[in-house]
Amino acid sequence: MDEPINIFKALSDATRLKIIWLLTNMDEKICVSEIVEVLNEYQYNVSRHLKILKHAKLVEEVKEGKWVYYYLTPIKNEFRQLIQEAIKTIPESQMNNEIQKCKKLLAERHK
């Protein structure tokens, strides 16, 4: 019962849900400063929210030089699977311009 509650709690905040939504839809790992820019949120808040998501085992991190990249924890149970699918159904339109912003950022990154 605790695992689902922690997951629901982690997803019940706009910033955190947006982060998960981004990771889900970008299908790529994203670093803190990119999230900060895309969501237009303070860096310290993003870091704190990421910590909560990590604690709920929704994301994991990998350090590369100065950057810390976050990505969705690989799915290992049906509950997580269904939650992920539910998040996928949240339409892009509800993310306003965040998604375009993020796409642009990631595109530049690959140059």
Q: Tell me the CA distances in angstroms from 68 to 9, 29, 46, 98, one per residue in order.
A: 24, 10, 12, 20
Residue 98 and residue 22: Cα distance in Å, rounded?
8
Residue 92 and residue 95: Cα distance in Å, rounded?
5
Which one of 43-51, 81-89, 91-99, 101-109 is the stretch in contact with DNA (CB under 7 A)? 43-51
Q: Which is nearer to DNA, 67 or 79 (CB)?
A: 67
Which of its own copies, DNA, none sits in contact with 71, Cβ below 5 to 8 A by type?
none
Pairing of strands 30-31, 67-72: antiparallel
Q: Which is nearer to DNA, 64 or 78 (CB)?
A: 64
1 binds its own copies (CB under 8 A): yes
26 binds DNA (CB under 7 A): no
Question: In angstroms, what is the minimal distance from the CB of 95 to its own copies?
Answer: 7
Backbone CA torsion sign across 96, 97, 98, 102: positive
Query: Which residues of the chain form contacts with DNA (CB under 7 A)?
Result: 9, 12-13, 15, 31-33, 36, 42-45, 47-52, 61, 65-69
